[in-house]
Chains A and B, each alone.
Chain A
Amino acid sequence: MIVQLLGLFARRLLVAIPILFVVSALVFVVLRVLPVDPAAMSMPPNATKSEIEAKRQEMGLDRPLPEQYAIWLGKTLKGDFGASIHFRRAVSSLIAETLPATIELALLAMLLAAGLGFAGGLLLFHWRGTWRGEAADLGSTMLMSAPDFLWGLLFILAFGVLWPLLPFTGRLASSFARPVHTGFLLLDTLIEGRLDMFLDVLKHMLLPATALGLAFSVPIMRVLRSSLYEIDHADYIRQARLRGVSEKRILLRHALKNAILPTLTLMGVQFGFLFGGTLLIEVIYSYPGLGNLMVDAVRNADLPIIQAVALAYAAVVLVINMIVDGLYLVLNPRLRAA
């Protein structure tokens, strides 16, 4: 199995390289076509035309597009994403600060969505054909109908303002000194052995992650329920019943293991959307992640940041999909034989 996993990852990495090239070229061209002049934006408002022209030459904006791309690509491959026009800092350090925050948030959201989805799917299946099932079905439709940013605003209103249970801005209370190890705060606080800080970070993430994950839990629920339905008629489930295996064990040990497979595929697809959804949620919760950085960069036409963030999004989605495929291989022995 390990050989097959390594083989899968190797193949995926080989495919990821051309994909990232295409994405980078696409982003580069689109941004250059936009009617913004980064040189003018990086100069003080009273700069003269010739000063701006000089800046353009200095930034290399007067050269042909393919050449510009080649230069940018060469630097990017060395890990140099250039300097932000607005923040006047290296883009790489900005990404390094914000990317872990967003990954952390998205993973927690996915975890919540999966937890809710599995629990809900099992309940929906358990209640099939009863009024409870109908009610739960209606409830889940309502959950799905509201978009994530609406949940975000509702949660702030409910648990932040009306009934102040949880914080709803930032990543950590200002009374704590932020530990710096990996950038993943949940991990860093554990490295420091500070459980109080860990819980504080978790509290800060709970509302945005729930808002993000809620809408994604419903499709997981639905898919899990329908695959459980289908599997309930499978020969091996009937044979387990005829062997006298208890219903609880049949559901949790026999049916669920098989029913999880389609939901896994779904979660891989969903993660891309969910990761994109962090953009709005981070803005609503003033969460200092990639989304907020991106919004700032777009507002300021900060091209180096936009390029780098777009690449970061693409890379994260590719990596997550690779992990999901790997999990699929681990959970489905039939794939290993092929």
Chain B
Amino acid sequence: MTPSILSAEKLTVEARLADGRRLSVLSGIGFALEAGKVLGLVGESGAGKSMVGRAIAQLLPPGFGVTGGSLTFGNRDLVHMGADARRELLGREIAFIPQEPLSALNPVMTIGAQFGEHLARIGTRSKTRRQGEALALLEAVHLPRASELLNQYPHELSGGMCQRVLIAMAFASRPKLVIADEPTTALDATIQARIIALMGEMREAYGAALIFITHDLRLAAKFCDEILVLYAGRAVEKGKARELLSAPLHPYTRCLQLAAPSLSAPERDLFTLSGEMPGLARLADLPGCRFAPRCPNVGEICRTQEPRLTPVTAPLGDDPSRKAACFRTEMTPGIETRSHAASSRHERSSPLLLLVEGLEKRYRSRRGLFANTELAAVDGVSFTVAENEFVGVVGESGSGKSTLAKLVIGLETPSAGRIELGGRDAFDRSEAARRRRVEVAQMVFQDPQSALNPRRRAASIVTQVLEAAAPRLSASARQRRAEELLAEVGLPAELGARYPSQLSGGQKQRVNIARALCATPKLLIADEIVSGLDVSVQAQLIALLRRLRHELSFALLFISHDLAVVRKLCERVLVMRHGKIVDQGMTEVVFGAPQHPYTRELLAASSE
């Protein structure tokens, strides 16, 4: 057996609570990573996957610490190593690739200054040699005009370019181990695939072992040699990547697989896993399997005894390393979803709700002192949405899709063109027209964290519209409406008394949707409302929107960069690029037999 670069045995990380109790955040994590191999750590937020990376760097949040087990790097003990010795390793032998490339570079230092600092630290003394090395590395990650780049600041670069710079920096010292924590989550789909390919290329060229932390099981299966699936701080399944994805043995892995929408698989419902990952404080109250409260196959034993990660014979393939922490693995393949019922499809004869014609939005950008250039964010866009129709808008960031949403809802004023909502001109700038527009259309914003007023309780947030629409409404009537709305989005009434900070990410997004539904709009405009959420939460929200569509019969303009989600939810799709609609039609047709080269490019990038 080849010696491993990094091995973890029974690694345990504990958090100390304010009341002195200790909670295990990670427990009994074990793996061995050989040189040149890629290990995937897969799980949703709260699973503890990032904690592994932080334990390796010993940069755990305050109050957290490694309390058991071992982490061995080469022959060095990472757990009991002094802070200075470990700092010596970081950036030299162990390198990190971050999640948010745009904010991971210092905004007031040039790329060259940051690169130079790193090269100086890892031992390149002369300034001219540092310059040369930086240029060579930037070219190795396929960045054009590398010498210009060195004098630029991070804000002048795109997210993908920043990530390339950070990848170049990570590999500069020829590290033995590179840890990439969700390196593509913040990037556009078309760029994601290229960054993943680049990491693979660099790993091969520089011979490093890689830990790839991600929430995306399918992506991990493509990129990694071995996968460790984590749930609530426990390793629930381990095995060779392809075998693990093709035949998951742990119910959680199976559910993750079924919850992710796909571009190629035959139409089927997404699996909606009930509930959510238990938070730190609730972990102590789970005596048995941590997944038991949500598990579709839960049995008596699961609630009292905790299963250990033990070798299991997989039904397919021959993977001797395959392990799962479940008492009833034989039942896992039985978890299935219904194949898709055609009933939810929209009837094409519905009356027209939204008409957009020749819509344009131009921004003036100032360059230098006098020169003005005009930039068309939305450039001659025409489309319609019928009543109760779900229409998706896809495109890369900067394609103008968010601006389009703002124009339709009236947050931005069009430079030219016509918008008709419910047969009436919505372009009118009068107060009465604005009120009419608000009655017909509502918007759900992307980030519930910033869209919800942190000083208001959920019940008050969801009924916010009533303050203007029905100022004389009694408090009890408003409370009743709040409870109705919360029930509609599948939240218990008692959550109405909570502040946004006391809600989970999925709950916040439900509140965000409930608020838009309060005035029973005919058109809902949703800007990336499922991006950045865990797959199981995403599947829940997609199911929610589909259910509400039948119950409340509204139309949806769904803006997203995720083609698979759009395919799942919308019967019609508009493909935007540089402010123009380049392709449109029924989703199955546009995605199934793409005609436009750009659509093909988007699809290829997404299914990589």
Contact = CB atoms under 8 A, between A and B. Distances in A.
A7 interface: yes
A261 B110 CA distance: 17
A257 interface: yes
B91 A258 contact: no
A254 interface: yes
Find the residue from A239, A240, A253, A333 having the highest chain B CB count within 10 A: A239
Counting contact residues on chain B (CB < 8 A from A), the size range is: 20 to 34
Interface of B: 57, 59, 87-92, 95-96, 98-100, 103-110, 117-118, 121, 153, 155-156, 166, 169, 366, 368-369
Find the residue from A7, A236, A241, A245 having the highest chain B CB count within 10 A: A236
Given A236-B105, A238-B59, A240-B106, A3 B89 contact: no
A336 to B, nearest CB: 8
A331 B153 CA distance: 12
A78 interface: no
A242 to B, nearest CB: 4
Interface in A267-303: none
A239 B117 contact: no
A332 interface: yes
Contact of B117 (A3, A245, A257): A245
B104 A243 contact: no
A338 B365 CA distance: 8
A243 B155 contact: no
Contact of A333 (B89, B108, B118): B108
Interface in A226-256: 234-236, 238-246, 249, 253-254
Nearest to A333: B153
A243 B59 CA distance: 12
B559 to A, nearest CB: 26
B369 A257 contact: no
Given A7-B369, A241-B59, A257-B108, 17 more contacts: A234-B103, A235-B98, A235-B100, A235-B103, A236-B106, A238-B98, A238-B104, A239-B96, A242-B59, A244-B92, A244-B121, A333-B110, A334-B108, A337-B153, A337-B155, A337-B156, A338-B366
A258 B108 contact: yes
A338 B95 CA distance: 34
A69 B249 CA distance: 91
A261 B100 CA distance: 23
Interface residues of A, number: 27
A10 B96 CA distance: 46
B155 A333 contact: yes
A262 to B, nearest CB: 13
Chain A interface SS verdict (over half): helix
A6 B90 CA distance: 44
A185 to B, nearest CB: 36
Contacts, number: 79
B156 A245 contact: no
B369 A236 contact: no
Contacts of A6: 369
Given A235-B98, A235-B103, A235-B104, A334 B117 contact: no
A331 to B, nearest CB: 7
A257 B87 CA distance: 23
B121 A239 contact: no
B95 A243 contact: yes
A243 B169 contact: yes
Contact of A245 (B95, B108, B121, B368): B121
A258 B59 CA distance: 22
**For the complex of A and B, 4 pairs with smallest distance between CB atoms:** A244-B91, A244-B90, A243-B91, A235-B103
B166 to A, nearest CB: 7
B176 to A, nearest CB: 14
A150 B211 CA distance: 62
Contact of A242 (B91, B155, B366): B91
Nearest to B370: A7
B156 to A, nearest CB: 6
26 contacts: A3-B368, A3-B369, A6-B369, A235-B98, A235-B100, A235-B104, A236-B105, A236-B106, A239-B96, A239-B105, A241-B57, A241-B90, A242-B91, A242-B98, A243-B90, A243-B95, A243-B96, A243-B121, A244-B92, A253-B117, A257-B106, A258-B106, A333-B107, A333-B108, A333-B110, A334-B107
Contacts of A240: 106
A10 to B, nearest CB: 8
A254 B59 contact: no
Given A7-B369, A257-B109, A239 B98 contact: yes
Contacts of A257: 106, 108-109
A254 B89 CA distance: 20
Nearest to A250: B106
Nearest to A239: B104
A242 B107 contact: no
A26 B74 CA distance: 77
A236 B87 contact: no
Find the residue from B57, B59, B87, B108 having the highest chain A CB count within 10 A: B108
Given A7-B369, A238-B59, A244 B169 contact: no
Find the residue from A6, A234, A243 having the highest chain B CB count within 10 A: A243
A240 B166 CA distance: 11
B91 A236 contact: no
A199 B479 CA distance: 74
Interface string A4-41: 00110000000000000000000000000000000000
Contacts of A333: 107-108, 110, 153, 155
A243 B89 CA distance: 9
A331 B90 CA distance: 29
A232 B107 CA distance: 14
Contacts of B91: 242-245
